[in-house]
Structure 1
Amino acid sequence: MTLSRTFAVTCLAATTVLFPIASSAHDFWLAPSTYRLTAPSEVPVSVLIGHPKDRLTWPVDPQRIVALRTVGPDGVRDQQSGLADYDQDEVLPIGLDAPGLHILTIETTNAFSELPATQFEDYLAEEGLTLIQLDRIHRGATDTPGTELYSRRGKALLQVGPVLPTDISRLRRPVGLTLEIIALDHPQTWVEGEILNAKVMFRGQPMSGITVGLVSTEPEIDTATHVRTDKDGTVSFAYPGSGTWMLHAVWSDRQRISDRADYNTIFSSLSFEVW
């Protein structure tokens, strides 16, 4: 029996807490060589997966990329031409042609995953996927392998020149990802003593009870703090210090009609630099 989204959100919201847990091996983020440019130019971007200290370059398969684009002061720009000659050890060349904030986004197709029961239950606990834990308990399936179709959504905030008022309005505007993390404050203006607010949207609607992690993407810094979104889908984090960071979130639904997997899971990230 599939749990309703309303019931799922109620259960998740009821367990809203602040807790530190290890960064997930499922982490996925866009990692430009720099998040700050003084003038319009091309910036190389890696696609990384795993724990930041053990991170790997994701072997980008053009067939799995649904979209690769930037949303900037010059509008929406398709960046898929950079996929043509991509190799696992190379990077994506992303062209930024105007001063201001450019939001780089990537979307992938589904892939299949199956884990033994114990590993799947550990993964659900680590990611805060309470809905799926409840569903497996309800179906008496906690001792069976877990199967899912999963896809990824990534965003990176690239700033060309100083932060302008128009950049803030662009920052807060959804770009239309299925599961999207939206920064409500510009990370490059974040200073000690202030908080950064963000919102999580699923299919255009704010989602409460989703675990959001603030994770350092620097290999030598093993720092991650996790918080659940409130009833408006928002979450706040205290200033973590300068460096490169990402916000990470996961949402999973029971597959209604599928002979291949029990769940459909989306991983989403927003990477940025804090000065």
Structure 2
Amino acid sequence: MNKLRGIVGFVVSLCMPAQAHDFWLQPEHFKISPGASTPMTLQVGHGPFRQRSQIPLRRISRFSDIGIDGGVTDLRPSLHAGGATDDGMLTFKQAGTHVLLLETDSKAQSHLPALRFNDYLRVEGLTPALEERQRNKSLNAEGSENYSRCAKVIVQVGADAGGRVTSPVGLPLEIVPEMNPHAQPRSGRLPIVVLYFGKPLAGATVKLTNLDHDAEPFETRVSDSRGRADFGMPQSGRWMLNVIWTRARPRGSDTDFETVFSSLSFGFE
């Protein structure tokens, strides 16, 4: 029986789409009243592979709320990852637009057969990793990576759209919108910049996904030389922007690459 389970697991890993590592924060309500609460879940995957994340609490290194005045509130004590119906309850007393951020450690590893790993790199636009494998003549070898996850979510509290939405929060890989989606009148465009360790990242594939119809991305862009990309501004629904980037680890490391998965989720009631 154990052998059969191992075979089934291997086949499933080959069939799972490259976006299966998509990870984001999803409150039940993206807009609430001051003093009100909303449950939140940690989500991973997409389409038929979407599920509650099983990440253990010990791997979550940061979970914070950036208030409208830039003050940081540690929300990690409020997490109960793996709860029966949610992973935490969010309550906001201060009106305005709040930005929540979550960051994990990079202890998780992924090991994939050569064909599967190369396909994943191509689909996600991880050109530096493909070039590294070509230089090392390792395209036919198993690919491996350590990975971490970063996620931000925009929560609108009350009607005032003031906040720090357009400011970086110091994540290793970060999507920073250049305008607040909740600002009125709402713009027809959503320009963003991608930062990698605080610097604009060119050539990154950024995807906008409708979380209510998430089998495929709604729009895909590649960041320009200034790390910028431009999307149509959604007018309703629940949405996620996500990006992935990687770099080679030193020779002799237990894996080949160090990868970061990053997302920004937001929505309209």
TM-score, structure 2 normalization? 0.86
**1:125 match: secondary structure:** helix
1:268 aligned onto 2:265:
no
In structure 2, the partner of 1:126 is 123
What CA distance in whole angstroms lies between the structure 2 residues aligned with 1:114 and 1:62? 23
Q: Which secondary structure does the structure 2 equivalent of 1:188 belong to?
A: coil
Tell me the C-alpha RMSD between the 2 structures.
2.2
> Which residue in the other structure is 2:190 paired with?
196
**Structure 1 partner of 2:133:** 136
- The answer on whether the counterparts of 2:110 and 2:146 sit within 8 Å (CA) in structure 1 is yes
Structure 2 gaps, min length 5: 1-16
Q: Look up the match of 1:25.
A: 20
Give the whole-Å Cα distance in 2 for the aligned partners of 1:257 and 1:139.
11
Structure 2 SS opposite 1:198:
strand
What is the rounded CA distance, in whole Å, between the counterparts of 2:93 and 2:142 in structure 1?
A: 48
Q: What amino acid does structure 2 have at the position aligned with 1:213?
A: K
1:143-154 alignment runs, 5 A limit: 143-154=140-151
Cross-structure match for 1:102: 98
SS at match of 1:226: strand
Return the alpha-carbon distance in structure 2 between the equivalents of residues 155 and 192 of structure 1: 21
Deviations 1:127-156 (A, max 9, x none): 110111111111111100100000000000
**What's the CA shift for 1:36?**
0.4
Alignment coverage as a number of residue pairs: 251
Task: Show the counterpart of 1:237.
Answer: 231
Equivalent position SS for 1:187: coil
Return the structure number with greater relative CO, CA threshold 8 A, min gap 6: 1
Q: Secondary structure at the match of 2:115?
A: helix
Which amino acid is the alignment partner of residue 46 of structure 2? Answer: H
2:244 — aligned with what? 250
Give, in whole Å, the separation in 1 of the partners of 2:133 and 2:184: 41
What CA distance in whole angstroms lies between the structure 1 residues aligned with 2:63 and 2:185? 31
For the pair 1:60 / 2:55, whether they are aligned, the reply is: yes
Identical aligned residues as a percent: 33
| 1:124 to partner: Cα distance | 0.5
Instruction: Give me the TM-score of the superposition, normalised by structure 1.
Output: 0.84
Gaps of 5+ in 1: 1-21
Measured against aligned partners, the alpha-carbon deviations of 1:167-222 in whole angstroms (never above 9, x if no partner) come to: 2xx11111110101111112234888811011111111111111110111114774
